[in-house]
Amino acid sequence: MKKTATIQNIKKRNEEICLYDSKKITNAIFFAMKEVKSGNKENAAYVTTIVEKNLNKKSKTAKTKGEYIPGGEEIQDTVEKALMETGFHEV
């Protein structure tokens, strides 16, 4: 998978700041795909690249000084949108 992320950190639901790891997103998507028997690891990686592109767009338009740090809910919403855009409605 080609790395597109410029996001360096994320804010977990407990407000803890952690390093961004695209593999965690890919693994979560793949797990969900396996649960509904739709998609594979490559599909999950592709959806992750869309998530990263969308987060990077938000990063560029954020009106904050310093680093853009997306939260867990925002990432989850972005994943759900990417799944819908790629036809994985059941995931």
> 72-85 vs 22-35: helix axis angle to the nearest 10?
50
What's the pLDDT at 64? Answer: 60
Provide the pLDDT confidence category of residue 6 given band limits of 50, 70 and 90: confident
Per DSSP, helices labelled H in 12-71 are 22-35, 41-61
Q: In angstroms, rounded to a whole number, what is the distance separating the alpha carbons of residues 79 and 21?
A: 14
Predicted TM-score (pTM) of this structure: 0.86
Read off the tokens for 23. 């593999």
Give dist(CA 81, CA 89) in Å, integer. 9
Q: Residue 1 above 70 pLDDT?
A: no
**Tell me, what amino acid is at 58?**
K
